Amino acid sequence: MSGVWGKNIQYSIFGESHGKAIGINMSGLPSGIPLDLEFIKSEMARRAPGKDELSTPRAEKDEFEIISGYFNGYTTGTPLCALIWNSNKLSKDYDKLKTVMRPGHADYTGYLKYSGFNDYRGGGHFSGRLTAPLVFAGAIAKQFLNEKGIIIGSHICQIGTIKDTLFDAVNLCSEQLNELHKSNFPVIAAEKAAAMKELILNAKEDRDSIGGVVEAAIINLPPKLGSPFFDSIESQLAHLLFSIPGIKGVEFGAGFEISKMRGSEANDQLYIDKGIVKTYTNNSGGILGGITNGMPVIFRAAFKPTSSIGKPQNTVDIEANDNVEIQVTGRHDPCIVQRALPVVEAAAAMAIFDIMKGQIQ
């Protein structure tokens, strides 16, 4: 089990969906960082379930308890550990799934990897519930980055086939990111929200689910961050992003669309503005050679439809060694995209925090 990531800041995640608690341990934090607990709570609330009809009715407040590494309002420099208690559990819903493998879930691969000893309730350690500790860590990382003027934001780029307007990759400003942060359903083109919500509710009514895309941005990053080959900015961001359950694709800048361009279109031509080198376009997403160039870092993450659906599906019973039909019950999101925004932002903040901590030592 690989539960640790990071070189300069080490993040160690632990817990299962229906265990007593989940949490994260952060080693390498500088001492003397003031923590805004209200900001952390607000970030946790953005991800928390049970808020409206678009998400799972499992109501978890995602209240955290810091048990080490924090004293008198500041980080102490020792490992900071936080617990998030699981209070709303219906483990009996999963009793019959001990040997019946749910399609789209890690039930089968987890059973093989851990010889059937894994906690299967609610997906156990594979559950999206484990993204709550990431949001906690990301909120701390954001505070460090915000002090340096670095802002991370996101919006719902796509639900099913309905697409929002993309970020202006050249002239993106903090005001827009801050406004999106305040929204419960952040989109740039306001008229798209109703259609997206209708699509989610239609999937829910049909006992089905739907996927989508989150577009995120990091602005005011200094140039020179990142190192080729294996420590490129893309490599480190993608590593954490692909650790988020449900993400099946990540692209930077123009992404896959760049493959349709000629070099004369794809290349971001440079110019000097008041002594600062900038580019007219930002097809590279603010990264060249794995190193930031000072332009906004833009990326998109594609989420698959929620695997737990009420429709009958074909699967296998491992114990009986037989083909069976399954109809998943319980409390599940018809779409995880709207709750995934703070998770994507957190992963980006954690990665950039780790990179910058290494370069300022």
47 annotated ligand binder: yes
Q: Is 31 labelled a binding residue?
A: no
305 is known to lie in a ligand binding site: yes
- Whether residue 307 is annotated as binding a ligand: the answer is yes
207 is in an annotated binding site: no
- Whose CA is closest to 196, among 338, 331, 57? 338
Residue 289 counted as an annotated binding residue: yes
**17 annotated binding-site participant:** no
Q: What residues have CB less than 8 Å from 195, skipping those under 6 apart?
A: 162
Q: For residue 127, say whether it is annotated as part of any ligand binding site.
A: yes
Binding annotation for FMN: 125-127, 289, 304-308, 331
Binding annotation: 47, 125-127, 289, 304-308, 331
Binding annotation for NADP(+): 47
